[in-house]
Amino acid sequence: MVLTDILKRWQLLQGRTAILCTGTDEHGMKIQQASSQAGSEPKPFCDKGAEVFKRLAARAEVLNDHFVRTTDPEHKEAVEYAWFLLRERGYIYTSKHEGWYSVSDETFYPQSQVHLILDPATGRKIYMSMETGKEVEWTSETNYHFRLSAFRDRLLSFYAENPDWVKPASRMADVVQAVSSGLEDLSISRPVERLSWGIRVPDDESQTIYVWLDALVNYITKAGYPWQPGKEHVHGWPADVQVIGKDIVRFHCIYWPAFLFALDIPPPRNILTHAHWTLGKQKMAKSTGNVVNPFFALDRFGVDTMRYYLAHDGGIAQDADYSNYYIIERYKKGLQGGLGNLASRVMRGKGWSVRRAVQDVRHEIVDASPCDVSAAAQRAMLLELPDAVAKEFGGLNVSNALKAVMDAVYETNKYLHAASPWKQVPKFEKGSSPPRVPEIDRTIFLCAETLRMVGILLQPYVPNKAAQLLDMLGVQEDRRSFEHARLGSDDSYGESSVELGRGPQSTLFPPLASDL
């Protein structure tokens, strides 16, 4: 959710309209069994779970416009309409189906993808999915099928025309390989005596629609599907990007576009697949207790710190290992020691005026490169920074974009330390304005510009701390968009709108409560 929220906020930063959907997938055999084990009916069980994720999204300050629940009445209507069209177009038929089914994964596996193991916990011999390690069971039933095999060539053509559709490239290659190897038709219903918790097949109460056909339709539900003629794109479809975990690539990158092609609906423009968080190098699992409570983490470290850590360390191609140690390290090095330290040294310096530096040397620096080599290098870095960040966001590389911003912070601290403007300040009477020293003003302007630009660019990541930094710099509310994240684009800042040195707004990144 945080990863997707950062992508949305990036679009808002550029003045674009952006819609974020998240929610809960609530149907299927896994939910049916879990609710039964909890001694609850499925709907109250799902209500409780949905409320947790709604609270978590709000706590992490995710700007979701919609929270979709697949038990929503409008979603049920959209699924039934999609089923009707697929059947009318000849893509659905009935047939007997036999195979290995995983309740946990809600999917069938071919014989080549299962193996027999001895369960160390129970001593039972069980068959498991080689892909996910989840138990499978042999089922034989008559149900409805979707002609997935008919879309093999069209899918391969689509992948060839859009080679960067799935990110990262390694997963795109896996998808192409899977489809190239051949596609079997997909079982898309279950007998109601086995699965009662779900949307019933229209005109056939004996069958329940397969959870992955049901759940995938949620993406177009909140985009207004089914659409009136001419209104197909009013609410944002096709999505610019869908963000998913690596474990559900097959459903989103093979099944989903095939369903959409059958419905004459364009697929999303990009699918960003992320890796998983592990804990102690082991997969997180509620069954083993190897989990992190996100509410506790947010309470302990704060929302901006957690968002920063998740974006900085979160894996896209490879899994990332969650660690409180690294959260504290990232905070101390990047936020407190890097950004906070730079802001304090620039804004609280006694021998210069940030406002005067902005007024006096802005045009000089913007219009021509300084003769001083280090100042010229600092200027060149700031000229390149916004485009470098935009390029990373264009490739959906949220972590790389953040690191580009933070590299600018680290380099600016080095530049400020080397310039040491505090050593160049001549003596002046207390209470009077510090004398103008052009070399000091150039240094302070370049450092203040870094803070201002970085503050703007960090808004998608740490919205509260970025706003606080921009307040400390005196950047006006209407000058915090991406167009202002360029060298010299704002001449009005330099006088803090909050009192520096007093109150909760005085320190950008104070010591963590856990360090006190």
Tokens of residue 33, six digits:
């069994």
Single-letter amino acid code for the residue at 370 = P
> Is 68 inside a domain boundary?
no
Mind listing the pLDDT tens digit for each residue in 327-373? 999 999 999 999 999 999 999 888 899 999 999 999 999 998 888 99
Please check whether residue 463 is in contact with residue 61, taking contact to mean a CB–CB distance below 8 angstroms.
yes
Residues of the chain with pLDDT > 90, as a percent, come to: 78
Higher pLDDT, 194 or 404: 404
- CATH code, 415: 1.10.730.10
Model confidence band, residue 113 (pLDDT cutoffs 50, 70, 90): confident
User: What pLDDT score was predicted for residue 504?
Assistant: 59
Query: Which residue in 194, 220, 487, 236 sits closest to 362, CA to CA?
Result: 487
What is the pLDDT averaged over residues 382-394? 98
User: What pLDDT score was predicted for residue 505?
Assistant: 60
Buried b / exposed e over 343-372, threshold 16 CB at 10 Å, is bbbbbebebbbbbbbbeebbeebbeeebee
User: What pLDDT score was predicted for residue 286?
Assistant: 78
Residues of the chain with pLDDT > 70, as a percent, come to: 98
| CB burial of residue 393 (10 Å; 0-12, 13-18, 19+) | buried
User: What pLDDT score was predicted for residue 382?
Assistant: 98
> Is 145 inside a domain boundary?
no
Tokens of residue 302, six digits:
């704060």
Higher pLDDT, 425 or 110: 425
Mind listing the pLDDT tens digit for each residue in 124-158? 888 888 777 788 888 778 899 999 999 999 999 99
Mind listing the pLDDT tens digit for each residue in 262-316? 999 999 999 999 999 999 999 888 778 899 999 999 999 999 999 999 999 999 9
User: What pLDDT score was predicted for residue 180?
Assistant: 97
User: What pLDDT score was predicted for residue 126?
Assistant: 84
- Alpha carbons 411 and 384: distance in angstroms, whole number: 13
Please check whether residue 134 is in contact with residue 104, taking contact to mean a CB–CB distance below 8 angstroms.
yes
Domain that residue 494 falls in: 337-515
Mind listing the pLDDT tens digit for each residue in 53-112? 999 999 999 999 999 999 999 999 999 999 999 999 999 999 877 778 777 777 777 777
- Distances from the Cα of 387 to the Cα of 13, 404, 486, angstroms: 14, 10, 9
User: What pLDDT score was predicted for residue 516?
Assistant: 42
- Alpha carbons 405 and 415: distance in angstroms, whole number: 15
> Is 55 inside a domain boundary?
no
User: What pLDDT score was predicted for residue 129?
Assistant: 83
Query: Which residue in 313, 276, 326 sits closest to 398, CA to CA?
Result: 313
> Is 121 inside a domain boundary?
no
- Alpha carbons 145 and 149: distance in angstroms, whole number: 11
How many domains does the chain fold into? 1
> Is 442 inside a domain boundary?
yes
- Record the pTM: 0.91
DSSP assignment of 376-444 equals HHHHHHHHHHHHHHHHHHHTT-HHHHHHHHHHHHHHHHHHHHHH-GGGTPPP--TTSPPPP-HHHHHHH
User: What pLDDT score was predicted for residue 169?
Assistant: 97
Of 99-108, 191-200, 250-259, 429-438, which one has max mean pLDDT? Answer: 250-259
- Alpha carbons 314 and 245: distance in angstroms, whole number: 12
Model confidence band, residue 430 (pLDDT cutoffs 50, 70, 90): confident
- H or E element, residue 102: strand 92-102
User: What pLDDT score was predicted for residue 502?
Assistant: 63
User: What pLDDT score was predicted for residue 469?
Assistant: 97
User: What pLDDT score was predicted for residue 391?
Assistant: 98
Tokens of residue 32, six digits:
């049916």
**Mean pLDDT, the chain, integer:** 93
Model confidence band, residue 514 (pLDDT cutoffs 50, 70, 90): low
> Is 238 inside a domain boundary?
no
How many Cβ atoms sit within 10 Å of the Cβ of residue 163? 11
> Is 289 inside a domain boundary?
no
| CB burial of residue 444 (10 Å; 0-12, 13-18, 19+) | buried
> Is 463 inside a domain boundary?
yes
How many Cβ atoms sit within 10 Å of the Cβ of residue 467? 17
